[in-house]
Amino acid sequence: MSGGVTSEWEGGGLASALAAAVWLLVPAGTANMAPVVAAWLLPSWDRPVDFCRSLGGKRLFGDHKTWRGMAAGVVAGAAAFAVLQRAPDLRGILADPDSSQLSPLFGAWIGCGALTGDLVKSFFKRRVGIPPGRSWFPFDQIDWLLGAIAFAIPVLQFSVMSILATLVAGVALHLVIHALGRAVGLNQSWI
């Protein structure tokens, strides 16, 4: 499929790039939020991804990165992409990167990418001594985006404008959702 899905991803102006970014942001953002919801629904399924392994006396990822969260993110990414694909009212509004060539597995793949980006950031966060739950600006805001983009690149051809639009819109979305979470007591910090 590499190189086969190109339409709005590599052409057009800023409006087209922002609209195309939605096709990545919806499954990636949903996947990024899914571990929090899964922790409420399945509190006992809390096995760490790193199996409690350490490197240099520091955990690889920490207790907050669980298999429950990874599974929830992958499923949520697939579900979000499937809903987006089948929303007929959105097709006229959003630039469609010929999503008919993609299955919900693309959403699962993007969800996996978003959470892999978060894992990579957590690895480095542990190395520099930042405790779990504490903000590490700007890496906490872009990790999921970079992971989703990295996983999408083998499947979709991106313009630089589409990548920048995805990053800018994704950071803005992350900051708004995080601030709302802080306002209702779900997050410890504003960013």
Where are the chain's structural domains? 7-183
Dig out the tokens for 37 from the structure.
């919801």
Q: Which residue carries 């979305």 as its tokens?
A: 173
Asked if residue 111 lies in contact with residue 31, where contact means CB atoms within 8 angstroms, the answer is yes
Q: How confident is the model at residue 135 (pLDDT cuts 50, 70, 90)?
A: confident
* Residue 168, SS3 per DSSP: helix
Is the pTM value of this prediction over 0.75? Answer: yes
User: Residues near 185 by Cβ (< 8 Å), separated by ≥ 6?
Assistant: none
Is the alpha carbon torsion for 183, 34, 76, 162 positive or negative?
A: positive
| Statement: residue 70 has pLDDT above 90 | yes
Average pLDDT of span 22-32: 92
SS3 content of the chain, % helix, strand, coil (to 5): 65, 5, 35
Lowest mean pLDDT: which of 22-26, 58-62, 75-79, 91-95?
A: 91-95
- At 6, the amino acid letter reads T
Asked if residue 170 lies in contact with residue 21, where contact means CB atoms within 8 angstroms, the answer is yes
- φ/ψ of 52, rounded to 5, equals 65, 20
Average pLDDT of span 73-97: 78
Q: How confident is the model at residue 155 (pLDDT cuts 50, 70, 90)?
A: confident
